[in-house]
Structure 1
C-alpha cells in the first residue's frame, strides 16, 4: 500500500485531496527527503512527545529544531520525546521511522508550529519508506483542523536555513578547528607491520612487548576459553604462532593501541566499558559471518572492532555533548542512537559538524589514520541501512552483528533493521546466522572478561 492504512482512511473520510510522490525505497526519513530532490523547507515532520497525561504529536518544518522549552510554555506540560520502540508500537501500520505528521488519523492530539497554517504547500511521508504526499495549503489546514498552534521551534538567525555540510567539509572543519588525535605511535607501527606481507610473528611479538599492559592483555586473550588451547603459553610469540594467528593478534593489538588516543569516561551505556564489550562481540560475530560468507575473516574482525570509534572521538573532542548523549541513552535504552544523536548533537554549538553522526565522524578519523577502506566504510556507513556501494559486504556484516547484539542488550545501535534482508545480502541462510550466534553464546563469559580487562 502506498499510504499507511489509517492515513488513507482519514484523508478519504475527510475528502482531503493529495498528490502521492513515489520514490525509491529509503532507509530513513532523512534519506527519503534527500532522494526526493526537493528543498528540505518544503517538508514537514512529526515529533512524538509524551508525559504522564499522554502522547502528543508536534508538527513542524523538517529543517527546524523542536524547542522543548517552547512546547512546555505552550502546553504547561513537561513533554519528552518517545523512544523509537514506543513510536513503532503506536504507528503499527507505518514503516519504522516514517510517521506522517497528521496525528488526527490515529486519534492523537496535535501541536502545530506557527506559520504552517499559511504554507502554500507541504510534503511529508505517507507512512511508508517509498512514498511522499504533497498537500496544498487548503488541504493542509483541513488535515490539521483542531490542532493547537504556537511557537514550537527554535528561532534565530540562520536556524533552519543552513545547508548541511558535506562529509568532505566536515572532515576539513574537524581538522582545522580541533586537534584530532593522531594514531598512537605503537598502533601506527602495528598497522604498518600488517601491511608488510613479509612480516613475521617474531616482529609482531617484539612490537607488542614494548607495552607491558598490552602484552598482558594479549596473553590473557590467548589463554582464555575462547580458544581452548590445551598447552602452556609463555610468550606473545607463542600466542601468535600456536593460538591466535598473526592477523588476530595484530588486529586486537591495533584496537588496544588506538584506544589510547582517547580520553573517554569508562561508565555509562556509551562509556569505555561498554564500548569494549560491544566492539569485541561485534568483531567476533563479524569474523564468524565472514567465514561463512567467504570474506576476509581478519578484515571483518577489524571492521567490527573499530566501527564505533566515532563515539570515542565525539567523547574526546566534545565531552559535554558526550556526557549528555550518554545520559540520554541511559534514560532511553530502546531509542535509536541516531535519534538521540540528532537530539543532542544536532542542537549543539557544533551542530554543523556533529549532525552527521558518530558513524561518519568515525569514518573520517579512520581515513585520516589511513586504515583499510573496508574499515573506513564499515565505520562511516554502519548507521545507514540499505547502504550499497564500495565494501558493502563489510558494512552489512557490522549491521547484522549489531542487529543480533541488540536482541541481547549489547551495544548502542537500536535503529530499525531487517535481519533476513541483511542475511540474504551476505549470501547466507538464517541457519548460518543461528550457528554464528550459538558460537558467540558459548564464549560470551570470556568475551565479557576480556572486555573488562581491556577497559581497565
Structure 2
C-alpha cells in the first residue's frame, strides 16, 4: 500500500506503473541463455570442461568475468589462465552462480536517470545471495537454491526502476530518493511475480518472491527457504544502518541464532572481494531524477587524514560524524555500492567496508563522497569509535 503521506506525483507514478503491469508492458530482461545452457549441462552430469567453455565463450564479457573470478579464487595467482582452466578451477556449480549474477547484473548496472537506486538494490541482492548461501546448510536449505533465492527475491524492484526509466527522462519528475524507494517498494513484489512467470522460475523461488515479507503465508514445504531470505533481509537492513552498531547490532534480528551471527561476521572479510568482482566502472548518471543530497555532513566536524581504497587510490577525509564519513576523491566512486577503504588516522589504521551514499562532482574538480561504515566489528569498530571521540573533542564538539 502507498504511504498516506505520498505526494501527488508519487501517487500518479504508481498508478501509471500498475497500468503498465496490467497491460503487460513490463520490460523484463531475458533469463540468461548461458545460465540456461549450463543448468541443462549440470542436470545431465556428463558435460566436459571443453563443452562448458564453448558455451561461456559465446559471451566475451562473461568469459572475462569468469577468468577474473577464477584468478581471485586461485589466491590472486598471476599465472595466466585459459578459459577451460578457469572453469575447472571454479567448478560447474560456482560457475553457474557467477554466470547468473554477472549476466543479470548487466541490467542492474546499466546507466539511467535512476541508476544509483538500481545499483543499490543490486548490491543488496548480491549481499542477500552471499548471506543466504552462508546460512543455508544450518537451516536445511540447499546452498545453491538459497543463493538464487537471495539473488532474485527482490529483482522485481530492479524491473520497477527499469519501467519507470522507460517512460523517458523528460517525463519523470525529480524526486527525493525516499519517494522513489517508496514507489519501488509498493510494487516490487507484483513486478517480481511477472519475472517469475516470464522466466518460469521454480516453485521455491516463486514462493520466496511472493512471500519474503510475510513468511508465515507461504507454503509450509518452502517456509525454511522463505524465512531464511526474510532473516537475511533484516541482517542487511541493520548492517546498512551504521548507527545500529555494525555486526553487534545483529543481536536484534529475530530468528538469527548466536552461531549464525558469527558466521556472518566470519564472511565479512570476503564480502569486499566478492563485491569487487561484480563492480562496474563508475559513470556519472546523466540527468539523474534523484534529488541531490546535501554536500555537507549533517552533525559532522572537519577532519583531515588520508584514505586508501582497495585499488590503492588515495582520497582525503574532510568531515566525520558518529556514523558517516565524507572525503574528497580525484576519481568517482560507484554510488550505491560497497567500497573497501583503509583510514590512516594515526595512531589507528582502520580497514572497513563503506556504503557509498553519494558521490557528487565538485566545482573545482574531483568528487565529494559521503559513505557509511558497513558491518564494522571488533578492533576496527573500536578504532572507529576512538576516531569519532578523538576528533569530536579536538573540534570542541559536545
Shift of 1:216: 1.4
- Report if aligned partners of 2:139, 2:224 keep a CA contact under 8 Å in 1: no
Q: Deviations over 1:276-333 (max 9, x none)?
A: 422222111111111222321111111112222212221222327898799543579x
Residue number in structure 2 paired with 1:40:
none
Q: CA RMSD in A?
A: 4.2
Q: In the TM superposition, what are the counterparts of 1:135-284 in structure 2 within 5 Å? A: 173-175=22-24, 177-178=25-26, 180-224=28-72, 228=75, 232=79, 234-242=81-89, 244-260=90-106, 264-265=110-111, 269-272=116-119, 274-284=120-130
Shift of 1:251: 2.1
- Counting matched residue pairs gives 267
Q: Distance in 2 between matches of 1:373 and 1:408?
A: 30
Q: What SS does the corresponding residue of 1:371 show, helix, strand or coil?
A: coil
2:203 is the counterpart of 1:376 = no
- Report if aligned partners of 1:307, 1:382 keep a CA contact under 8 Å in 2: yes
Q: In the TM superposition, what are the counterparts of 1:46-445 in structure 2 within 5 Å? A: 47=4, 173-175=22-24, 177-178=25-26, 180-224=28-72, 228=75, 232=79, 234-242=81-89, 244-260=90-106, 264-265=110-111, 269-272=116-119, 274-319=120-165, 327-329=175-177, 340-341=182-183, 357-389=187-219, 390-409=221-240, 421-423=254-256, 429-431=257-259, 433-445=260-272
Q: Deviations over 1:99-144 (max 9, x none)?
A: xxxxxxxxxxxxxxxxxxxxxxxxxxxxxxxxxxxxxxxxxxxxxx
Q: 1:437 to 1:68 in 2, by over 3 A?
A: same
Q: What SS does the corresponding residue of 2:94 show, helix, strand or coil?
A: helix
| TM-score computed with the length of structure 1 as normaliser | 0.49
- Report if aligned partners of 1:277, 1:451 keep a CA contact under 8 Å in 2: no
Q: Distance in 1 between matches of 2:35 and 2:85?
A: 21
Gaps of 5+ in 2: 242-249, 284-398
Q: Deviations over 1:145-171 (max 9, x none)?
A: xxxxxxxx99xxxx9xxxxx9xxx997
Gaps of 5+ in 1: 1-29, 31-44, 50-65, 70-80, 82-152, 160-164, 346-354, 411-416, 424-428
Q: Distance in 2 between matches of 1:453 and 1:292?
A: 33
| TM-score computed with the length of structure 2 as normaliser | 0.55
Q: Distance in 1 between matches of 2:158 and 2:168?
A: 9
- Report if aligned partners of 1:277, 1:452 keep a CA contact under 8 Å in 2: no
Q: Which runs of 4+ in 1 moved over 3 A?
A: 66-69, 177-182, 184-188, 190-202, 226-233, 258-269, 320-332, 385-388, 417-423, 453-456
* More strand, by proportion: 2
Q: Distance in 1 between matches of 2:93 and 2:193?
A: 22
Shift of 1:214: 1.0
- Report if aligned partners of 2:136, 2:146 keep a CA contact under 8 Å in 1: yes
Shift of 1:402: 1.7
Q: Distance in 1 between matches of 2:75 and 2:34?
A: 29
- Report if aligned partners of 1:269, 1:326 keep a CA contact under 8 Å in 2: no
